Structure 1
């Protein structure tokens, strides 16, 4: 059971918790493809081949294990490799990636997200905790957060307890006094439990909890917290 009285800070996931990620990624990939069609047509043709694209991404992941937590760097270097393979200028990779990245920040929030963030941030320090590469400043939500901890900058991702503990440090609070909210049962909820935090599993799709250890609370909607936290 959730112990509301223990909460001194809240950490919260971003992708698929505050906004749906795949529609955002699809738009960003379309923007990237259009840019490549205009400025690097041979690379655009290569990216249009799903098998070739999978091979490039697999090769980059294998060749650069140091980037496994840095989605931005992996995508940028995959674009660079594709440009090289297509016989076009690899130096265009930075510009091409920025086209993708700018569109990736144009998220559409779930209807419950902004009201919940405003309600919670008025009561607790909020820390974003993500394995992704969302930029809260570009998205326009940075003013609601004390800090943002991401796998790309920290070097390890959820469910590793160390990144949860780093978020606790950013909130200047002990892990046991933090409620973590996220949509992924393993990365978010189980990760938070193993880090000594209270865990709220945001289950928008009515999925079945897959683990023996259970979260402190299951939410169908972020607005549910407004009823629980005075």
Structure 2
């Protein structure tokens, strides 16, 4: 009886990962180490509760988390200069909501801090700690993220040599400069770095374009959308560890 492959053959290219080249690992955060949208939804709910007490007119005008998310998305269109800084976009969207409702605009700062604190309360994937320990025990690891999670506030900072975020660096993925900055931080060349992330474009293809090897984390078995394939595709962080620990993987 034929064995069904883990992925359809058309969606997963053959593994061309060369472990012998890897001297460092860069990792995406949101949706790679934890699911992001449950975190954001909860943080928006906490923000709405805070507004109900401190800015009731705003809470009445933006009466659910969907409305808060809509004005956050609107701010993305109004302030393209902040596209690299998701925290600033959220803060300014809160300020706009307060202003539209007639509440004090200065409340945007404490309101954002409430949101931001809850945004750091992520629920890691079950195999995240094990994977981070595995990787950190073999390579220096750097976080490279477009989001505004703080690895130290999340509680995983001890696994990382550094963390580079788009809002601090000034440009987001897929710009190759943020990947090159991560390599430079560790004193290695881009071709000596393996990047792991869930986004086919912002992580995998962008890392390849920056001269790195890339493993695409694809738990829902999406089709690969680009011509240039990743060096490997895995369904989970556990599978990533198996790949890197497999004697059959080129090295």
TM-score normalised per structure 2:
0.87
2:103 alignment partner, SS class: coil
Are 1:118 and 2:119 an aligned pair? no
RMSD: 1.7
Corresponding residue number in structure 2 for 1:78: 93
Deviations, residues 16-71 of structure 1 (Å, cap 9, x unaligned): 00000000000000000000011111111222278965774455334433211111
Are 1:136 and 2:151 an aligned pair? yes
Structure 2 Cα separation of the partners of residues 22 and 59 of structure 1: 18
Structure 1 Cα separation of the partners of residues 195 and 117 of structure 2: 28
Structure 1 Cα separation of the partners of residues 66 and 137 of structure 2: 48
1:11 alignment partner, SS class: strand
1:223 alignment partner, SS class: helix
Determine if contact 1:161/1:195 at 8 Å carries over to the other structure.
Answer: yes
Q: 2:47 aligns with which of 10, 32, 56?
A: 32
Corresponding residue number in structure 2 for 1:228: 243
Are 1:168 and 2:183 an aligned pair? yes
Determine if contact 2:45/2:65 at 8 Å carries over to the other structure.
Answer: no
Corresponding residue number in structure 1 for 2:164: 149
Q: 1:6 aligns with which of 14, 21, 37?
A: 21
TM-score normalised per structure 1:
0.95
Structure 1 Cα separation of the partners of residues 72 and 131 of structure 2: 36
Provide structure 2 residue ranges, at least 5 long, that are not aligned to the other structure: 1-15, 246-251
Determine if contact 1:190/1:215 at 8 Å carries over to the other structure.
Answer: yes
Determine if contact 1:46/1:53 at 8 Å carries over to the other structure.
Answer: no
Structure 2 Cα separation of the partners of residues 144 and 39 of structure 1: 38
Provide structure 1 residue ranges, at least 5 long, that are not aligned to the other structure: none
2:144 alignment partner, SS class: strand
Superposition deviation, residue 112 in structure 1: 1.3
Residues paired across the two proteins, number: 230
Determine if contact 1:126/1:147 at 8 Å carries over to the other structure.
Answer: yes
Are 1:87 and 2:113 an aligned pair? no
Structure 2 Cα separation of the partners of residues 50 and 112 of structure 1: 30
Structure 2 Cα separation of the partners of residues 55 and 112 of structure 1: 33
